[in-house]
Amino acid sequence: MKTKIIGSLFLSAIVAFASCKKEDPNPPSDENIVKWNVEVVDSIPGASVGIYNMLTFDVDSGVHIAYVVSGNDYSLRYAYKPYEGNWVVSEVDNLIADDIIDIAVDNDKNVFIAYRGYNPANNNNEIMYVAEKSTNGSFSKVKVEVLGDQSHQARYPSIYADNNDVIHISFERANYGMRYTTYSFQGTFTPVEILDDNITSSASDIIVDSEGNKHIIHHHNENVYYSYSGHSENTWTVNQIATGNA
């Protein structure tokens, strides 16, 4: 499961939520309402912290956050809080290309963060990476090199960890269309799959259901598309589900 948080970076943990209408003649007293706990995760003077951020949790209810810091450039940071523990913050990459990121954690609590960085040999050549770490390890980044000579055109990733610890990745090949590949901790990427090159997409989201079927939501201009593929299939069905012109 993954959740997006937009805005200043805070984590709010809810136990229960209660509210009452203004016209209620007998509103509950404050002491009878279970409230949100709000914690500051990170703060950097002079920077915009958490302008884009993604959140997930592990099998032991630990919370994992990937977030972008904007100063003179974009950088990528990670925060982890074990259940009833304290926040630990680390830097993943001190220079990334944009603020589109995603995070997933497998059943062994290995962490994966997908993002677009720079080719160290050419800062104008933007490359997609997966940064990975074990529970007690540190992050190392792996280039998502599945497009051959066009690997510098990968962008806008979304990732999901399934019940078998397979990491599913959807992304766009710039100015072409959606692509899909899989990965596992310290493993290799599977051959890229093409959803539809007639749909030049942008940001997407991917999930995998309990049967292993893959589902991706993506868009092109005024249209929203839903694509799906069976658990053992490598072909995709793409359906338009909404249009801004309707």
Q: What pLDDT, on the 0 to 100 scale, is given for residue 123?
A: 63
Q: pLDDT value at position 79?
A: 96
Tell me, what's the pLDDT at 18?
30
Q: Provide the greatest CA pair distance for the chain.
A: 68
**pLDDT under 50: residue ranges of the chain:** 3-8, 10-22, 246
Could you tell me if 203 and 197 are in contact, meaning their C-beta atoms sit under 8 angstroms apart? no
pLDDT of residue 120: 63
pLDDT value for 34: 67
CA 240 to chain centre: 23
What is the third-level CATH fold of 2-243? Neuraminidase (2.120.10)
Give per-residue pLDDT as tens, 41-80.
998 888 889 889 999 999 999 999 999 998 888 899 999 9
Pairwise CA distance, residues 97 & 143, whole Å: 14
Q: How do strand 140-143 and strand 10-13 relate by DSSP bridges? A: unpaired
pTM of the shown model: 0.84
pLDDT at 119: 67
How many residues make up the chain in this entry?
246
Count of H helices and E strands in the chain? 0, 19
Amino acid at 234: N
Q: What is the pLDDT of residue 8?
A: 47
Residues ≥6 apart with Cβ < 8 Å to 245: 222
* In the chain, where the domains are located: 2-243
Torsion-angle region of 36 (φ positive above 0: left; ψ -120 to 50: alpha; else: beta): beta
